[in-house]
């Protein structure tokens, strides 16, 4: 099929490349001319494992191309909308990019009025798809579908090719049939429903996963007081088939582009309709305070951080991505610098972006270098190179062998036996 994808950010580019891999002819559209030139030369503007290589392959096979003009997609049978819906100043989703995309689609349809499916993959408030359908009703043979994405940064391409489920919100059998043809060959459960249900499934999924994380972080705080080990507790919980092991890891809070933005957007939506989501409000409260609580644990060991050298390992919000949006590392760096600490930081991908926000920190090119002369080290993002280290060398390099494991990823027992002072999140 001939497909156009509006927006070549994280979701749009992954969607475009994965559809090209399935044999479709894909045109990626973006208003950023510099980004389009970069993509046309086979270079991805985002870091995602495996994406650069596949992008080059699809360009070489002429399965994908890029442009700033949607009018080049006159023959497109399906147009995906994958534009950003960032958090506005009031917490609601900013739909200005979506509105602009719909206007462009209407112009395209006027020039080429063929039967076409508009697929909204952007995360949007409930009711947006129905509103879009009404606004495009003047365009005959144009169907609007809600098809939310469930991509995990760091393994997005794998998720696009092997989705956990395919959610399609539509009001016509023709649109559903086109989506089934588009995604033929993918082995995943289908949920065919209304556009509003599809939109709420996306928000509810992210809100629930965020709730699991915050629940475990509260248990970690309790474990710190009780002397129990939250990693053992979470393992025991996860063996219950009704609970499962996913998203039960305590740490220093969630970040990224989805959980923070989507939870506040869902809260705003509920408030507009006079509904209070008290649990979700608490989820956000716990997440906001978790990095602060973690720094307080450090301050108990080093009451005066002024002039103390602190190594910070990992800056992206999670491994295998360069995304620093809402990353816990940003709050930790701000707190450390406010206390007068000297920060030595390492991240294999995200250091340049963080350096623009915190230019006074020192950024090293190897994880071991961050430990030199450090009075304490903090693991923020569990990159493999930040976890698998030469601990004998590191102990010799540190001023004080004090470790704060914000992801419970360092070998606790081994480090204690080696003479390190070790403190995890909720570990006895």
Q: Is 82 a catalytic residue?
A: no
Cα(66)–Cα(40) distance, rounded to whole angstroms?
A: 6
CA distance readout (Å), 317 to 180, 324, 325, 347? 34, 5, 7, 11
Model confidence pLDDT, tens digit, residues 6-49 = 999 999 999 999 999 999 999 999 999 999 999 999 999 999 99
276 belongs to an annotated ligand binding site: no
Its pTM stands at 0.93
**Residue 420: pLDDT above 90?**
yes
Distances (CA, A) of 7 to 30, 216, 280: 5, 35, 30
**In Å, what is the CA distance from 366 to each residue of 19, 314, 349?**
37, 11, 12
pLDDT for 224-239, tens place per residue? 999 999 999 999 999 9
Across-strand partners of 335? Answer: none
Residue 92 pLDDT class (50, 70, 90 cuts): confident
Q: Rounded CA gap, 428 and 426, in Å?
A: 7
What is the chain's mean pLDDT, rounded?
A: 95
Helix (H/G/I), strand (E/B), else coil: 401: coil
Structure tokens at 392: 């004998």
381 marked as part of a ligand binding site: no
SS3 83: coil
**Catalytic residue among 82, 139, 258, 412, which?**
258
Residue 282 annotated as part of some ligand binding site: no
φ/ψ of residue 67, rounded to 5 = -155, 160
- Residue 39 marked as a ligand binder: no
Is 151 known as a binding-site position? yes
Go through the domains of the chain in sequence order and give each one's CATH number. Answer: 2-193 (3.40.50.720), 229-423 (3.40.50.720)
- Cα separation of 345 and 347, whole Å? 7
Asked whether the predicted pLDDT for residue 428 surpasses 90, the reply is no
Query: How many of the other CB atoms lie within 10 Å of CB of 300?
Result: 9
Query: Is 154 labelled as part of a ligand binding site?
Result: no
Give the pLDDT confidence of 238-297 residue by residue, as tens digits.
999 999 999 999 999 999 989 999 999 999 999 999 999 999 999 999 999 999 999 999
250 marked as binding residue? yes
Residue 268 is assigned to a ligand binding site: no
């Amino acid at each position: 099929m001939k497909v156009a994808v509006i927006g070549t950010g994280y979701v749009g580019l992954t969607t475009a490349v994965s559809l090209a891999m399935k044999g479709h002819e894909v045109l990626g559209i973006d208003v950023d001319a510099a980004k389009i030139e970069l993509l046309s030369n086979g270079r991805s503007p985002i870091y995602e494992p495996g994406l650069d290589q596949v992008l080059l392959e699809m360009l070489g096979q002429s399965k994908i191309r890029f442009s700033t003009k949607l009018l080049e997609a006159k023959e497109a049978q399906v147009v995906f909308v994958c534009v950003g819906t960032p958090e506005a100043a009031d917490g609601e989703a900013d739909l200005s990019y979506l509105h602009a995309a719909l206007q462009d689609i209407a112009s395209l349809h006027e020039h080429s009025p063929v039967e076409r499916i508009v697929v909204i993959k952007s995360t949007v408030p409930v009711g947006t798809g129905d509103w879009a359908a009404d606004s495009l009703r003047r365009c005959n043979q144009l169907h609007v579908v809600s098809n939310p994405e469930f991509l995990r940064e760091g393994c997005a391409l794998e998720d696009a090719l092997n989705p956990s489920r395919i959610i399609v919100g539509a009001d016509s059998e023709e649109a559903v049939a086109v989506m089934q043809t588009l995604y033929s060959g993918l082995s995943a459960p289908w949920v065919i429903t209304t556009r509003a249900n599809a939109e709420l499934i996306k928000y509810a999924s992210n809100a629930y996963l965020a709730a699991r994380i915050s629940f475990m972080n509260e248990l970690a705080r309790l474990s710190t007081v009780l002397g129990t080990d939250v990693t053992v507790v979470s393992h025991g919980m996860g063996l219950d088939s009704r609970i499962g092991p996913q998203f039960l890891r305590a740490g220093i809070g969630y970040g990224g582009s989805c959980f923070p933005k989507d939870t506040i957007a869902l809260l705003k939506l509920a408030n507009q309709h006079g509904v209070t989501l008290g649990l979700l409000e608490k989820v956000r409260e716990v997440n906001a305070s978790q990095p602060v609580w973690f720094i307080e644990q450090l301050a108990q060991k080093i009451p005066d951080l002024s002039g103390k050298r602190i190594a910070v390992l990992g800056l992206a919000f999670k491994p295998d991505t360069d995304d620093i949006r809402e990353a816990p590392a940003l709050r930790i760096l701000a707190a450390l610098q406010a206390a007068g600490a000297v920060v030595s930081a390492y991240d294999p991908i995200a250091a340049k972006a963080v350096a623009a926000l915190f230019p006074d920190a020192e950024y090293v090119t190897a994880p071991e270098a961050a430990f030199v002369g450090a009075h304490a080290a903090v693991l923020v993002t569990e990159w493999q190179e930040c976890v698998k280290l030469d601990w004998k060398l590191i102990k010799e390099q540190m001023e004080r062998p004090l470790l704060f494991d914000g992801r419970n990823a360092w070998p606790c027992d081994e480090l204690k036996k080696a003479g390190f002072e070790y403190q995890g999140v909720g570990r006895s």
